[in-house]
Structure 1
Amino acid sequence: MTPTLKGTTLDGDQVDIADIRGQILVINIWGSWCAPCRKEAPELVKLHKETEPLGVRFLGIDIRDNKSAAKAFERTYGIAYPSIFDPDGRTVTGFKQMAPRAVPTTYVLDKEGRVAALSIGPLTYRDFYPIIRDIAAEQA
């Protein structure tokens, strides 16, 4: 299943994951109000830094939030990748039957845009790095 996701980032840029197809993409659904999201944010930052050299891209989807709280969250945790601002939670319907049922939820899409891995709840670098690395190696 290939999700269709597009929207405007917290910085005002337009993003469409169809434009990112051909690369491994990690998509994290989060909100600044979410305690487990705060717990996993440093793990995602580390994953982003460690997997970027493997050609892995990251995209957040900030749901049910307000823009100033979301931007403060990104500054606090040093999140350097873009996040679609989705206060109504409509963007995530692009996952169709695999739409997230909890926050945080993280998907790894392969180069074809298919969901290759899924984590519901806060992830850890230690558990998720080997998964991303293996998907990137398979796709190389």
Structure 2
Amino acid sequence: MTPTVKGTTLDGKHADIADMRGHAVVINIWGSWCAPCRKEAPELKKLSEQTAPLGVKFLGIDIRDTKTAAKAFERNFGITYPSLYDPDSRSLIGFKNLAARAVPTTYVLDKKGRVAAVSIGPLTARDFYPIIKDITAEQA
């Protein structure tokens, strides 16, 4: 299943995962109010840096949040990849039956845009890097 996710990022730009086809894409659902998300943020930053040479793209989806709090969260944790600002969680509808039921939830899409892996709860770069590497190698 290929989810449909697009919208406006925290910095006011448009993002659409359809534009990322041909790359593995990591999508992380988070909120600044979420303690496990704060625990996970440094791991995602590290993971985004480790997988950049593999051509992996990252997209956050900030839900049930204020823009001020979300921007402060990204700044505090040094997050450089874009995040959709989605205070009403509307973008999660694009995941249909795979929609996140807990925060944080992380999806990895393969190069064809299909959900290849899901992590519910905070992940670690050490545990998740091999999964992403395998997904990118699968279709190389």
Is the TM-score greater than 0.5?
yes
Q: Which residue of 2 is the match for residue 45 of structure 1?
A: 45
Per-residue deviation, 1:70:
0.2
Q: Which residue of 1 is the match for residue 131 of structure 2?
A: 131
CA offset digits 1:80-103 (Å, max 9, x no partner): 000000000001110000000000
Task: Report how many residues are paired.
Answer: 140
Per-residue deviation, 1:22:
1.1
Specify every segment of 5 or more residues in structure 2 that has no aligned partner in the other structure, as ranges.
none
CA offset digits 1:32-59 (Å, max 9, x no partner): 0000000000000000000000000000
Specify every segment of 5 or more residues in structure 1 that has no aligned partner in the other structure, as ranges.
none
CA offset digits 1:88-121 (Å, max 9, x no partner): 0001110000000000000000011000000000
Per-residue deviation, 1:16:
1.0
Per-residue deviation, 1:77:
0.3
Per-residue deviation, 1:8:
0.1
SS in 2 for 1:102: coil
Q: Which residue of 2 is the match for residue 29 of structure 1?
A: 29
Distance 1:38 1:139 in 2: 32
TM-score (norm 1): 0.99
